[in-house]
C-alpha cells in the first residue's frame, strides 16, 4: 500500500461528453497506492436525490449508458457494490492506523444501506436504477426490464440487503430469470424492445440477445454465488450446471444448439428463438474468473487468506467426498474433503496425520508434498422453501469421490 504510483494526465471530460479518445501521458506527480484507493473511493461518494450512487453513463452494465447521462440518474446495484467496497476498505484503513477514514467508510456504508432499503426496494425484489428524471428501472411498473438479476445477487453478496428481502429477491430471480428448460439464466426480463424506456445502447441488441434479456454469464455466476451464500447449496449447484459450458456439449443435439466451444466460458447465451441456447463471445475471461471463484470458493468452499486455507464446503446431495491437489508455490497439498457421517455435526482436520486445532491450514512452502483430510458437516438447505431443487443434479449422478 506504500508503493508509489504515478498519475496520468489528460484533459478533463467535458460535461456533455461520455468519453474521448486520446493518449494520456505519465504525470510527474505520484502518490501511494493507498492514497490512490482513498481518492477513488471519495470520488465515488456522489449521490442522487434517493441517496444512491450516481450512475453516470453506465455502471457494471455499460449498455445502460443513458440512465444517468445528465448527472442525476442513480444505480441501486452500484449502491450494493459500493457498500461492499466501503466495508472491505474500512478494514484496510484500520490496519494502516487510518482510523478517521476507516470510520468514514463505515459511516458512509451504514447510510448507504439505509438509503437502499428506503428507496431501492420494489416490493418483491430490488430495483435496478433511477433515470435522471427520477423514474425507476427494474420495477413492476416498468413494461420492460421489470427485474434485473444483479441487484438481487449483490444484496446477498455484499451483505447489505435485508435478510428477508434478499431471500424474496432471489426467489424472484429463480422464478423469473432461471430458464431451466433452455439451460440459461437471463440477466433481465422482459427485454427492452418497444416501450419508451431508453436506457442506452443495450436497446440496440435484439431482445433476448446479450445484455438485453439473454444470459450474461458474468451475472449468472453471481446468481449462483448468491444462492450458495444463502446456504441453498442444491440450487447453487443446479445453477452452476446450467451455465457450465461442459453441460452444453453432452450430445450432438446440445452441441448443435450451443454452436460454440463447450470447454470455455461464453460471455452470453441467447434467449430468443430461433437461436435460444446459442452461445456468443467465447473465451471470455471475466466470466471465467468468476466461474472459477464460484467453483473453488462458493461450492467447494476453499478460501485463501494470505497463507491460510479455510474450508467451508457445500456438497451436492450426490457427493460423499472430493479431492483437490492444491499447489502453494513449490509445495503440493493433497486435500481430501469428506462429508461427516449423518448426524455428526463435528468438523475435523488432519495435516499429515496430525489433528489440527484451527479451522484452516497454514500453508508453508517447504517444497514437499502434504496430505490433508478434512471432514465437514453436510450443509444442504433450501432457502426458498421449494420441495426439491436437486433434479438437474440427480439426473447426472456423480461418483462417490470427485477428483479435481
Q: What is the pLDDT of residues 173-225, one digit of tens each?
A: 999 999 999 999 999 999 999 999 999 999 999 999 999 999 999 999 999 99
Query: So what's the pLDDT on residue 396?
Result: 33
User: Is 45-299 in CATH node 3.40.50.2300?
Assistant: no
Residue 194: CA count within 13 A, CB half-sphere: 0
Query: So what's the pLDDT on residue 376?
Result: 83
| Long-range own/partner contacts, residues 247-254 (CB < 8 A, 24 or more apart) | 247/183, 248/183, 248/277, 248/279
- CB 248 within 8 Å of CB 257: yes
Class (C level, CATH) for 303-403: mainly beta
Task: Answer yes or no: same fold for 45-299 and 303-403.
Answer: no
Residue 26: CA count within 13 A, CB half-sphere: 4
Query: So what's the pLDDT on residue 345?
Result: 60
Whole-prediction pTM: 0.91
Query: So what's the pLDDT on residue 233?
Result: 93
Query: So what's the pLDDT on residue 359?
Result: 86
Low-confidence spans in the chain with pLDDT less than 70 = 342-345, 377-404
Going by their DSSP bridges, the two strands 354-355 and 302-305 should be labelled as unpaired
How many other C-beta atoms can be found within 10 angstroms of the C-beta atom of residue 194? Answer: 9
Going by their DSSP bridges, the two strands 178-179 and 184-185 should be labelled as antiparallel
SS3 at position 311: strand
- CB 321 within 8 Å of CB 334: no
Edge-first strand order for the sheet with 360-362 is 302-305, 308-311, 360-362
Domain parsing of the chain, residue ranges: 45-299, 303-403
Query: So what's the pLDDT on residue 354?
Result: 95
| Consecutive H or E run containing 203 | none
- For residue 252, give every residue at least 6 positions away whose Cβ sits within 8 Å of its Cβ, in sequence order, or none: none
Bridge partners, residue 71, by sequence: none
- CB 29 within 8 Å of CB 7: yes
Query: So what's the pLDDT on residue 187?
Result: 98
SS3 at position 61: coil
| Consecutive H or E run containing 348 | strand 348-351
Query: So what's the pLDDT on residue 169?
Result: 98
Amino acid at each position: 500500500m506504500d508503493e508509489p504510483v504515478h498519475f496520468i494526465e489528460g484533459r478533463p471530460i467535458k460535461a456533455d461528453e461520455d468519453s474521448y479518445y486520446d493518449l494520456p501521458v505519465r504525470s510527474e506527480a505520484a502518490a501511494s497506492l493507498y492514497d490512490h484507493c482513498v481518492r477513488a473511493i471519495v470520488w465515488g461518494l456522489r449521490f442522487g436525490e434517493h441517496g444512491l450512487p450516481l450512475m453516470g453513463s453506465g455502471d457494471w452494465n455499460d449498455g445502460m449508458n443513458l440512465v444517468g447521462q445528465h448527472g442525476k440518474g442513480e444505480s441501486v446495484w452500484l449502491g450494493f457494490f459500493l457498500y461492499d467496497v466501503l466495508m472491505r476498505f474500512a478494514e484496510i484503513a484500520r490496519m494502516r492506523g487510518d482510523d478517521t477514514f476507516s470510520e468514514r467508510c463505515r459511516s458512509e456504508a451504514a447510510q448507504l444501506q439505509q438509503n437502499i432499503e428506503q428507496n431501492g426496494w420494489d416490493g418483491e425484489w430490488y430495483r435496478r436504477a433511477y433515470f435522471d428524471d427520477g423514474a425507476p428501472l427494474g420495477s413492476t411498473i416498468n413494461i420492460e426490464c421489470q427485474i434485473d438479476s444483479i441487484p438481487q445477487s449483490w444484496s446477498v453478496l455484499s451483505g447489505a440487503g435485508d435478510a428477508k428481502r434478499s431471500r424474496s429477491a432471489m426467489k424472484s430471480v429463480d422464478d423469473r430469470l432461471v430458464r431451466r428448460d433452455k439451460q440459461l439464466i437471463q440477466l433481465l426480463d422482459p427485454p427492452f424492445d418497444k416501450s419508451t424506456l431508453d436506457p442506452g445502447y443495450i436497446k440496440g441488441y435484439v431482445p433476448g440477445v446479450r445484455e438485453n434479456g439473454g444470459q450474461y454469464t458474468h451475472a449468472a455466476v453471481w446468481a449462483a454465488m448468491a444462492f450458495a451464500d444463502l446456504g441453498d447449496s442444491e440450487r447453487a449447484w443446479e445453477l452452476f450446471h446450467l451455465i457450465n459450458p461442459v453441460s452444453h456439449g453432452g450430445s450432438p443435439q446440445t452441441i448443435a444448439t450451443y454452436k460454440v466451444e463447450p470447454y470455455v466460458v461464453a460471455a452470453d447465451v441467447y434467449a430468443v428463438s430461433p437461436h435460444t441456447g446459442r452461445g456468443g463471445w467465447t473465451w471470455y475471461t471475466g466470466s471465467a474468473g468468476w466461474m472459477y471463484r464460484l467453483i473453488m470458493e462458493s461450492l467447494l468452499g476453499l478460501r485463501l487468506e494470505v497463507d491460510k486455507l479455510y474450508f467451508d464446503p457445500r456438497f451436492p446431495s450426490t457427493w460423499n467426498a472430493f479431492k483437490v491437489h492444491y499447489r502453494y508455490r513449490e509445495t503440493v497439498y493433497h486435500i481430501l474433503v469428506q462429508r461427516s457421517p449423518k448426524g455428526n455435526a463435528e468438523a475435523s482436520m488432519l495435516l499429515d496425520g496430525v489433528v489440527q486445532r484451527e479451522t484452516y491450514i497454514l500453508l508453508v512452502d517447504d517444497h514437499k508434498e502434504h496430505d490433508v483430510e478434512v471432514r465437514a458437516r453436510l450443509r444442504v438447505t433450501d432457502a426458498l422453501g421449494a420441495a426439491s431443487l436437486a433434479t438437474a443434479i440427480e439426473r447426472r449422478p456423480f461418483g462417490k469421490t470427485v477428483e479435481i
